[in-house]
Structure 1
Amino acid sequence: MELTRRDVLAALAAGGVAAGAGVTLSNDSGGPLIDDHVSDTLVAVAAVVYPSQLDGVESFVREYSGARVREHRSYASGVADAVDALDAYCQSWADADFAALDPERADDLLSGFGVDTADPDPDGSDRERVRYYLVNELLYALFTTPTGGELVGIENPPGHPGGTASYQRGPQ
C-alpha cells in the first residue's frame, strides 16, 4: 500500500492543520523548523511502528511533520526534545543515535526504553514525551488517512467522507 500526498492532506485535516499545496520544513525566515536529524529520526520511528507493507513512508512523515510544525510551533520544540531524549537513551545502549540504527535494533531500543507501555504526556518523563511526540503522533497521522484506515479495516477514518454505500451495507 502506498501513502500518498492525499494521505498527508487527510492526516493534516484530521489534526486541524490548514494544509496548503506547498508544504515545506522552513519557517518564514527561511530557517528550518525541524532539522534533518529530527526528520530522519521521525522517519526511523515510523519504520519501526508503521506496518511493513506500506510504501512512501519517508515522504509521508517528512511532509506531515513539516506541515505540523508550521501550524504548531511549540510542537517543533517538543519533537526536538523528545528526539534528544531518545538519542541520549540510544547513545547509552548502542553508541548511536536512533536514526542511525537498523530497524530491528531500533525496535528493541524503543521497547527497552519503555515507550510501548508509557502513558503519552507532553510534559512527562522522557519516555512519556517520546510516546506522545514521536510514536502517538505518527500513528495518529497514519490511521487518520484512507490508506492507514484501510490497513485496519476502517474504510472511512474520521474526517474522510465515504458516502451512503459504506454505512448501509452489513459487516463483511
Structure 2
Amino acid sequence: MELTRRDALAALSAAGATVGAGVLVGRLDPPRADAGAADAQDSNPRDSPDLSADLLDLLDAAAEVVYPDDVEGRRAFVETYVLGRVENRPAYRDGLHEAAAQLDATARDWHGTAYADLEPDTRDQLLRDLGVETADPDPEGPITDRIRFYVVNDLLFAFYSSPTGGRLVGIENPIGHPGGIESYQRASMEETPGGTTSGGDGE
C-alpha cells in the first residue's frame, strides 16, 4: 500500500483545508547560515507553513506506530498533510508544536532519547503508558488529550480520509474520522480530529 502526495491533498480537502503553494512544493525551516538580521526581522514564522525536520520526524514516527505495517510513502504523505493543516493556522500550529514537544520530552525523560529515535514497539508503549489510547481528543485538555488530538487523531484522519487509506476499510472517500486500528482509532464516523462534523477545520 503506497501513500502519495495526491492522497495527502485529498485528505486535506476532506479536512476543509485550503492548499497553498507552500504545501505543493513542500517547505521545511532548517537554519539559514546566510540569513541576515533584516530577513529575520521581516519574516513572520507564525504565518509560514514551514515546519522543522525534527517535528516531521516525530510525526512520521508516530504514523509508523498507528498506520498499517505495509504502508509505503508515509513520510512524504505525512509532510504534505501536516504542512497543509498548519498553513495560515498559527493557533493550530502552536498547539501541534506544544503537543509534539511534550511527547518528545516524555520520551527523553523516560528513555533518554528522542521519540523518533525509539524502536516502534517502544513508541507504541509510550503512547499507551501516557494513556493516549483512551484519551479524549481535546486541544484544550491535559497533554495526553492534546497528543491524542494533534498527533494521533489527526494522523489517523489523514490516512483514512485518503483514497488509499479509505480503500483499506472499504470507503474510498470517507466522511469525517472513520475510526481505525484497534484502540487508537475510536473516534466516530461523524467527527473530524477537532470534534466537529466533517468538513470542519478542527478549530
Map of 1:129 onto structure 2:
146
Counterpart of 1:49, as a letter, is V
Counterpart of 1:9, as a letter, is L
Query: 3-state DSSP class of the match of 1:71?
Result: coil
Q: Structure 2 regions of 5+ residues with no counterpart? A: 30-41, 177-203
Map of 1:163 onto structure 2:
none
Misfit runs of 4+, over 6 Å: none
Structure-2-length-normalised TM-score: 0.72
Q: 1:155–1:36: structure 2 CA closer, same or farther, 3 Å change rule?
A: closer
Q: Check the 8 A contact 1:25/1:67 in 2, yes or no.
A: no
Q: 1:102–1:127: structure 2 CA closer, same or farther, 3 Å change rule?
A: same
Find the aligned partners of 2:170 and 2:43 in 1 and give their Cα distance: 43
Using the TM superposition, give the Cα deviation of residue 24 of structure 1 relative to its aligned residue in structure 2, in angstroms: 2.8
Map of 2:27 onto structure 1:
25
Find the aligned partners of 1:145 and 1:112 in 2 and give their Cα distance: 29
Using the TM superposition, give the Cα deviation of residue 29 of structure 1 relative to its aligned residue in structure 2, in angstroms: 3.6
What percent of counterpart residues are identical? 47
Are 2:93 and 1:93 aligned?
no
Map of 2:2 onto structure 1:
2
Map of 1:170 onto structure 2:
none
Match of 1:73 among 76, 90, 107: 90
Using the TM superposition, give the Cα deviation of residue 34 of structure 1 relative to its aligned residue in structure 2, in angstroms: 2.4
Structure-1-length-normalised TM-score: 0.84
Q: Check the 8 A contact 1:3/1:56 in 2, yes or no.
A: yes
In the TM superposition, 1:96-115 aligns within 5 A as 96-115=113-132
Q: Check the 8 A contact 1:118/1:131 in 2, yes or no.
A: yes
Counterpart of 1:137, as a letter, is D
Range 68-77 or range 30-39, more displaced? 30-39
Find the aligned partners of 2:138 and 2:50 in 1 and give their Cα distance: 22
Q: Check the 8 A contact 1:78/1:133 in 2, yes or no.
A: yes
Q: Check the 8 A contact 1:120/1:129 in 2, yes or no.
A: yes
Find the aligned partners of 1:85 and 1:40 in 2 and give their Cα distance: 15
Provide the aligned C-alpha RMSD in A: 2.1
